[in-house]
Structure 1
Amino acid sequence: MLRLKRLIEIAPRRSVNGRKLLKEEVQIFPEIPLRSPSQWTSSRFLDIYQMGNKDAIERERARLKDEMNRGYFADMSEMKQHGGKIGPANKIIIPAVAAVKFPTVEVNYSDGSSLKLPITSDRNDANLSKSDIPKASLVCLSFRASSQPMVDSWSFPFLKTFSHSPDVRLYEVSFIDSWLLTRSPIKKLLLKIMRKQKPGEKQDVLQRQIVYSFGDHYYFRKELRILNLLTGYIFLLDRLGRIRWQGFGLATPDELSSLLSCTSLLLEEK
């Protein structure tokens, strides 16, 4: 009985001492109100949403929705259906009044120098002389390595036909959108090992200018209505950078004939 009484007397003291210790700990380590990760994330997104540009956010949402509707498997499915020939090439030249401008894109040569395409007569560039502005430019776009043979089917006959023309340019643009490959050290290393003109190649007036464009090209593709990234896209531009002819995929004899005749017409335009 005596032992039980002593236990009852000691227990409250210990609990009181325990409460005092807890109180001291709270003073030293003040309590931080906890919230679930989902609540923190949503409120943070809300703050960014309120602070950011709502129009830009809406555009980004539309972009995500657009890109989710397209993908590698959708491109592959189309390639199996038509082999990259997403449409027929123009049979005749597009009239100047109906032609649209080719969007500006910055490209890099393998030596690291950069250039903005297209080169046009309405550009305010003091470094450009009249002889630097071509009357006709063939711009071949390749987003994946699989489309390079398609580009070659257009560029080689074009190069052979207009090899001695000083008023024609030929650009083969390869797009690199990988985040890692666009980082400056990797980009410089990549450009060093890129394709260069072979020493034994014939030095004609018209040269294949192989260039590369790094980074995000979504809005560039959007302007040109490019969806399938596995095929090649060919554009013939006039001296003002307007699209006067376009083709896709592998060239056919009739389409090549159309391209060459339209180029000749551009060279004759005043």
Structure 2
Amino acid sequence: MLLRLVVGSRRWSSSSSSFRGAARQEGLAEVRRLASFAPLSFVEELREVRAGGKPFGAEALSASKGFKFPELPATNLDGSEVTLPEYFEKRVTLVAVSTRQVGAVKLASWIVPLAQRLCASSRAKNSTKIVELTIVENPVARLFRSWFLANLRRGENDPLLHHSTLLRIGDTSAQRAALGMANRLVGYVFLVDHRGRVRFRASGAATDDELALLFDQTVGLVADRERSQGV
């Protein structure tokens, strides 16, 4: 009995050490990623937009390189308050984020093609979600919250995307740093897996090759979600 307890204790200790080691490595990676973030001045942002408006190209992230989507309170179009990533309901979710209209107009090049693909597959439709997040960082905008929501509702013409548009008013510097959104004039997309981790990221308007990468990554993450649920 004593031998079993000792062996069991050693196994638990080894497992616990491995867990702590993995958590420590993940924490260090997060610190390095945040430390490398450098927000741009308006002049730098404008220069980057004029040069093509893509701070970074599309990138599929492995499970080990993926990172947690930061917690972010937001408002749904019906006025209800939600919190990301809880709002994703453990689905594979495309999150399209913009802080300026000039960046928002490019997001349709990602949203519409993926939405059309998902709509054609009931299996994928039940496992995925598309969320468009509009960020207004000026705190004075809270006085005009109803106007912003009404304006977003008027722009919600596609029933496929209904209830998937969110508004965030207030400072999001920490979340933008976590997501690498250095240029506020550019739109960004992030594909989040069912564990709440970013597994694909891109910026600006989508190219055909980038869309193909997004489609492939979405299919893979949906399959991973189904395996985890024993489907």
Question: TM-score w.r.t. structure 2 length?
Answer: 0.73
Distance 2:106 2:212 in 1: 16
CA shift, 1:217, in A, is 0.9
Structure 2 equivalent of residue 248 of structure 1 = 203
Q: Give the one of 152, 156, 164 matched to 2:112.
A: 156
Q: How does 1:123-202 map to 2 (within 5 A)?
A: 133-163=89-119, 164=122, 165-183=125-143, 186-196=144-154, 197-198=156-157, 201=158
Distance 1:138 1:111 in 2: 21
Q: Give the one of 106, 109, 128 matched to 2:73.
A: 106
Distance 1:148 1:221 in 2: 15
Distance 2:163 2:48 in 1: 29
Q: State the SS of the aligned residue for 2:107.
A: helix
Cα deviations across residues 15-53 of structure 1 (Å, max 9, x unaligned)?
xxxxxxxxxxxxxxxxxxxxxxxxxxxxxxxxxxxxxxx
* 1:166–1:251 distance in 2 versus 1, CA, 3 Å: same
Structure 1 equivalent of residue 187 of structure 2 = 232
Cα deviations across residues 107-129 of structure 1 (Å, max 9, x unaligned)?
11222111111137xxxxxxxxx
CA shift, 1:208, in A, is 6.5
Q: Would you say the 8 A contact 1:169–1:207 is kept in 2?
A: no
Cα deviations across residues 200-242 of structure 1 (Å, max 9, x unaligned)?
x4x55x7571111110111111112221111111100001110
Q: State the SS of the aligned residue for 2:181.
A: coil
* Count of matched residue pairs: 183
Question: Radius of gyration: which is bigger?
Answer: 1
Q: Would you say the 8 A contact 1:154–1:250 is kept in 2?
A: yes
Structure 2 equivalent of residue 213 of structure 1 = 168
Ranges of 4+ aligned residues in structure 1 off by more than 4 Å: none
Q: Give the one of 54, 79, 88 matched to 1:85.
A: 54
Distance 1:153 1:222 in 2: 24
Q: Give the one of 83, 91, 113 matched to 1:116.
A: 83
CA shift, 1:77, in A, is 1.0
For structure 2, the residue ranges without an aligned partner over 5 or more in a row are: 1-37
CA shift, 1:195, in A, is 2.9
Cα deviations across residues 50-102 of structure 1 (Å, max 9, x unaligned)?
xxxxxxxxxxxxxxxx76xx322211011112x21112211xx4221221101
Distance 1:98 1:147 in 2: 26
Q: Would you say the 8 A contact 1:173–1:210 is kept in 2?
A: yes
Q: CA RMSD in A?
A: 2.0
Cα deviations across residues 160-204 of structure 1 (Å, max 9, x unaligned)?
000241110000001011222123xx2133323333433xx4x55
* 1:150–1:193 distance in 2 versus 1, CA, 3 Å: closer
Q: Would you say the 8 A contact 2:90–2:196 is kept in 1?
A: no
Question: TM-score w.r.t. structure 1 length?
Answer: 0.63
Distance 2:212 2:163 in 1: 20
Asked if 1:264 is matched to 2:224, the reply is no
> What is the identity percentage for the equivalent residue pairs of Structure 1 and Structure 2?
26
